[in-house]
Amino acid sequence: MSFSRLLTPRLLLDTSAMFPPSSSTVASSLSRQLRCSTRTGGSPPPHRHVARRVMSNGAPAEPAIYGGGAQQAPSAVARRVTLATLRGKHRRGEPISMVTAYDYPSGVHIDAAGFDICLVGDSAAMVAHGHDNTLPITLDLMIEHCRAVARGATRTFLVGDLPFGTYESSTAQAVASAVRVMKEGGVDSIKLEGSTPSRISAAKAIVDAGIAVMGHIGLTPQSVSALGGFRPQGKTVESAVKVIEAALALQDAGCFAVVLECVPAPVAAAATSALQIPTIGIVYHDLLGTFQHPLHAKVSPKFCKQYGNIGDAINRALSKYKQEVETQSFPGPSHTPYKLADTDVDAFLNALKKKGLDVAADAAADAVEYSEKEINGTPQLNKIYA
């Protein structure tokens, strides 16, 4: 989802009821926009460069076993989005687009759509693994999700989520977890939730270690136990002021951007105006309409706008596939392109018979006859391939 840059407070209040645009109105110097200590040039950290080079499909295309063909190398024209790219867009007042992804196909789609930032979120616990909240997902599993997205998204700036239980104990634990996500997951930065003193210390320690950090305030799903559920924040004066203070504290810790989730529009406007770093909002499955089951309503945010009905298309395709399997119209010869040479068919049948596999030889002969009739334009009821 793209969150257009806020030009006036009025524009912000006229847009999303929950999320502000992606960046603030204050045009300040680069040094004040992004205070993290990562590289400022156009090149990624060395470990990222290696991870991305190893995991990408940039090798020359070769004939593929499967009918879809080989993956094509990424376009040389599309330049990778870096922290410097985001700084420049924020300084010029250009919109910053960000969305979530959890797997390789999503990464490919997001890259092709030209998004600036992709978050590999711990919400994968809910939308990819069916949990009721984000707490169960582990660091190892998050790294696997990051690796999968990184294989597909070769130009988008990637943010990996630190899951619950991987950065709360100490700054040393936080830095160690962040390093793993960067090195093993192949991402450009990490995200952590909350603004308690321990979270601020963790964010600062990670930034001091040379890793870009994105903050996350408002509704912080990892605090579902303390919050008593998924509850919007900033709905009282005291709570609203705390949101602003939290945003400023994360900026002071060196975060390059802050996610605002489930806060009222005036609070989002105030935070966006007070900060000199971008404020961001993110979705994926909900904007595509991936989930159509009524039970999904319990994890579908009210602030999301649905731009597609992918779930309905998936359901129709699965139902059609099931029907064709049951009626034996799929699979057929056109979906079995791997052939024995004509000169080898008889030899294969004889070899089977010599082994006493007469029934298998008859089945193979029937399959050859069936394929020939289909090729010659005589439709056959598929009893061989079923």
CA–CA separation, 346 and 356 (whole Å)? 15
CA–CA separation, 55 and 383 (whole Å)? 42
CA distances, 122 to each of 222, 223, 278, 282, 373 (Å): 9, 13, 21, 12, 52
* Buried/exposed 36-71: b ≥16 CB within 10 Å, e otherwise: bebeeeeebbeebeebbeebbeeeeeeeeeeeeeee
Residue 13 tokens, joined: 């209040």
369 is catalytic: no
Phi-psi region of 131 (alpha: psi -120 to 50; beta: other; left: phi over 0): beta
Q: Which is catalytic among the residues 261, 326, 369, 374?
A: 261
Compute and round to an integer the Cα radius of gyration of the chain: 26
Residue in the block written with tokens 């009918």: 67
Query: Could you list the active site residues?
Result: 261
